[in-house]
Amino acid sequence: MLYLCCMRHGISSIGDALREYMNKSRLKPRMMEVRIQENWEQLMGKTIARYTESIQLIDGKLIITTNVAPLKQELNYAKEKIIKLVNEMLEEPAVREVIVR
């Protein structure tokens, strides 16, 4: 089946076929969310990562949850930077808005 998909769409490798499948799959937003969670410390640093309780990606909105008031303030000021960093890491404009809770 995968070979036929490749032939039909002119895709040259299994890797290309899997990427094409994932781009059209309903799993893509969840996989992007997992990539953000896995790379959060690298993107934002150890301190911010340590005090971040959860990160969700829902309909282009990155929802960051923390109970640390100063961190909430810092994240609110850095929303545009966060959008830029996350989208660069994902290599596509997946995040349009940041919500800090």
Query: Each residue of 39-63: pLDDT tens digit?
Result: 999 999 999 999 999 999 999 999 9
Q: Count CB atoms within 10 A of the CB of residue 51.
A: 14
What pLDDT does residue 21 have? 77
Nearest to 89 by CA among 56, 44, 59, 48: 44
pLDDT tens digits, residue range 65-90?
999 999 999 999 999 999 999 999 99
Q: Does 25 have pLDDT greater than 90?
A: no
Q: Does 7 have pLDDT greater than 60?
A: no
Dihedral pair phi/psi, residue 82, rounded to 5°: -60, -45
